[in-house]
Structure 1
C-alpha cells in the first residue's frame, strides 16, 4: 500500500492546470485570477476633497480675513475657476480640488455671509485633500494567481478592469454506487441507506472552485456502472463512492478497467480511506473513493482539494497541518496513518471518542482532524500532534 503522500503525488501526476477563460468583473468573485493586472490609472485620478467646505489657498487663512466665494465644485461637476488670493470655492466631498487651492476648510469652521466667508476661531491643520494617487498609483500590479474576493473585485474595478482572465473550473462528476442507496427525498425501507456522500463531496468541491455534478446512483451491476461512466465521460474528473473494496458486489475496479481506465494505484495506508484508487482514461481522471461517508469526505479533504488547486493554477501541496497540544490522551496507533475526528477549542484539540467511519454526525461536529503517523506511540495530554483544520 502507498502512503498518503505517495498517493497524493501520483494524483498530482495525473492532473495539470486547466486553461483560462474571460469573465466580467461582475462575475469574477470566487474565481482564480490567472494573469497579473496593472492599474490603468492612479486612484483617485485627481486631487479631491475629503470633506464638505471651502477650497482655498492656505496662505489666505488669517484672523479677520474675508474670502470671496467665486464658484462651486461638486462630485462629477468640477469647477473651472482658478482660485486667486482672497478667493474660495464652495466644495463638496469627492469633488475635484480647483486650481490654486491647497486646502479645504470644513464648513463647520466657516461663517458665510452672502458671497463671502469668514473663519471661526483657529483652523485645524488638516488639508482635507485626497491627493491624486493616494489610494494607489498607476504602477500598482495585482498579482496572479489568486482567489478573487469581493474586496479584490472592488479594487480591480477601481484599477479600470471590466474583464479578467481566470482559470477554467474543473468539471467533476460524482457517481455513488450501491443497490442499498436511495436519494434523500426517499424514505428508506429496511436495508436501504440514504446516499449522503455525493452531496457532501459536491459541496466541498464547489466550495473549492470546481463544478460538481451528481449523477444517478449506479447499481451493483456492470451495465449500470458502465452507463454511469458513459454519462461522465466529458468530465475532467470522475469520482465514484463505494464499490472499491473487495466484496462480491464491489465492481468499480473491474468496470473502470473495462471502460479504458489505466490504473495508477489501489489502496492507501490510511484510516479511514484504505480502498482509495485512481487512474486515467483518455478523456478524464478517475478517483475511486470508499463508500463510508466519513472515509469519502476525509479522502476528498486530503486528496481532491489539493488536486483542484493544481488544476486551477494555484500552489498545490498536501493539506496544511499545524501542531496543537492534546486535551485528552490517546492509545498507540496502528499500522496505518490515522485521520481522527477532533474538536479544536481554546488552543487545544480533543479527539472524538467515536471514530466510526460511517458516523456523519461525529464528522459534522468536528472542526479538525488529528493526523497520527503509523505506529505512533501513546500520547498524553498536552503532547503536540499534527492537526488539519476543517
Structure 2
C-alpha cells in the first residue's frame, strides 16, 4: 500500500524521541540541544562597573559649573579601589573597573582636566551615568538558557559567562550508511568501465547528515547478494539509524527489504506517493530505525532531505517540522501534476528581492549534474492543476 508524504513523515519523524543525554565540553557542544535548563552560577557583572574610562565621583559633588575634585585612587578592570569615594573626591576609573563605594556616577575623561592629584570638570550630576549595574546581564540562580535551546556560538558565550565549561545535551544519533549494488565502484577508482556506477550517494547523504550534527559512518558497500547483504546489515549494530541505498524496489536484484527482514526488521511501509522516491523502506530493527532509500541518486537525496535530516533533528531534540517550503513565484508555466507529490529541482533566478523559480528542464532522478546546479525543490501537490508564470508555489531550498 502506498502512503502519502505526510503520513510517511509522521511515521518516520514524529514518532521518534530525543536520544539520551551526554555531558560535553563547552567547545564541542555547538549544534546540540540543551537537555536541562541552565542556571547561572554567578551574577554578571558581579558589581557596579564603569562603562567608560574616566573618573568615578559622587554626583552630589557636581554642580554643572567648574569644580575641582581630589584624586584619591584608581580602579581598573581586575584591580578595584579598596577605599571610599567621598564628597569632593574622585577615583580614576577604567572601563570594566568596579565603581568604588560612595561613587554613583562616572565622568568620562574627555570631560575632565587632570592636574597632578586634582581633576576639574563642568559636568552636572546624573546618578548612574556610565555605570553598568551589577546583574544587568544576568543574576546568580537565574535561568539563562532554557531546556531545548539550540546551542550555537552565541549561547556558548552565555553559558561560559554563567560559569559552565560543560553542558548536558541530547546525544547525536549514530548513523550507518550502507550502499548496495553490483554496479557500484568507489569515486577514487583509477579507471571506470561503462557498466560501473560511482557510489556518489553515500558520501552525499553522509555530508547532509553530518552537517545536521549526526555521527555518520559509511559501511563497506555490498553487492546484490542476499547473504552479503545480511552480513553488511549486521555491521550496522549499535547505530541509531541505518540508512540503506539501493535495492528498495521490486526487481529481481532488489533484495534489501528481504535482507533487512531476515535480520529482524519490523517493516512499517515501503511505498510513498511521491516522485522521485516512491520505493522508500521504513522499519525498526531492535533499537535501530531503518530507512531504505532508492538507488537513484536524486531520489535518495530528496528522501534524505525530507525524512532523514528531520529525523536527526528530532532525535537531537531540535524542532523538526515537515519541510513544506516557502512561497516563491515561478519564472515559467508548469503543467498539471500527476497523482504523486512531485519534488521538482529548480534554480533561483533574478536579482535578490525579486527571485523567481526556474524548474530544471530535465527531471530524471539519475541526473546528479542537474541536482548540483539547482537551489532547491518546487513542491507540487498530487493532481495540482497547471499554473502560469508568476504563480506562487512552495519552494524547499537545499
Encode CA deviations 1:252-292: one digit per residue, 9 max, x unaligned: 11211211111111111100001111111114111110011
1:61 Cα deviation from its structure 2 partner: 2.4
- Distance across 2 between alignment mates of 1:71 and 1:159: 31
**Cα offsets for 1:179-211 (capped at 9, x unmatched):** 111112113222112111111111111111211
Q: Are positions 1:244 and 2:248 aligned together?
A: yes
Residue in 2 that maps onto 1:114? 116
Measured in 2, the distance between the counterparts of 1:116 and 1:145 equals: 55
Q: 1:171 aligns with which of 169, 174, 186?
A: 174
- How far does residue 124 in structure 1 lie from its aligned partner after superposition? 9.5
- 1:249-260 → structure 2 map (5 Å cutoff): 249-260=253-264
Other-structure match for 1:235 = 239
Q: 1:208 aligns with which of 199, 209, 212?
A: 212
Q: 1:62-141 to 2 correspondence within 5 Å?
A: 62=63, 63-119=65-121, 122=123, 127-138=129-140, 139-141=142-144
Question: Alpha carbon RMSD of aligned pairs, Å?
Answer: 1.8
Contact 1:14 1:285 in 2 (8 A): no
Q: CA deviation at 1:20?
A: 0.7
Partners of 1:15 and 1:285 within 8 A in 2: no
Aligned with 1:362: secondary structure?
A: helix
Structure 1 counterpart of 2:356 = 348
TM-score, with length taken from structure 2: 0.93
- 1:143 maps onto 2:151 in alignment: no
Q: Secondary structure at the match of 1:376?
A: coil
1:278 equivalent in structure 2: 282
Alpha-carbon separation, structure 1, partners of 2:143 and 2:7 = 41
Q: How does 1:4-43 map to 2 (within 5 A)?
A: 4-12=5-13, 15-43=16-44
1:174 partner SS: strand
Q: Report the TM-score when normalising by structure 1.
A: 0.95
String of CA shifts for 1:73-129, please: whole Å, max 9, x gaps: 11111111101111111111111000111111122222211111112x556968211
1:289 alignment counterpart: 293
> 2: CA distance between counterparts of 1:127 and 1:93?
13
Deviation, 1:60, is 1.7
Counterpart contact for 1:39–1:160, Cα < 8 Å: yes
- In structure 2, what is the Cα distance between the partners aligned to 1:13 and 1:59? 64
| Separation (CA, whole Å) in 2 of partners of 1:357 and 1:212 | 25
Distance 1:7 1:191, change over 3 A: same
* Paired residues of 2:329 and 2:393 also in contact (CA < 8 A): yes
| Kept in 1: contact 2:336–2:383 (CA 8 A) | yes
CA displacement at 1:147 relative to structure 2: 1.6
Q: Do residues 382 (structure 1) and 390 (structure 2) align?
A: yes
In structure 1, list runs of 5 or more residues that go unmatched.
Answer: none
Structure 2 unpaired stretches of 5+: none
More displaced stretch, 346-355 vs 239-248: 346-355
The answer to whether the 8 Å contact 2:202/2:218 transfers is yes
Contact preservation (8 Å) 2:324, 2:394: no
Equivalents in 1 of 2:214, 2:254: separation in Å? 28
SS at match of 2:279: coil
Aligned length: 389
Q: Contact conserved, 2:280 with 2:291, CA < 8 A, in 1?
A: yes
2:62–2:123 Cα contact (<8 Å) kept: no
Q: Distance in 1 between matches of 2:287 and 2:75?
A: 62
Equivalent residues of 2:30, 2:156 under 8 A apart = yes
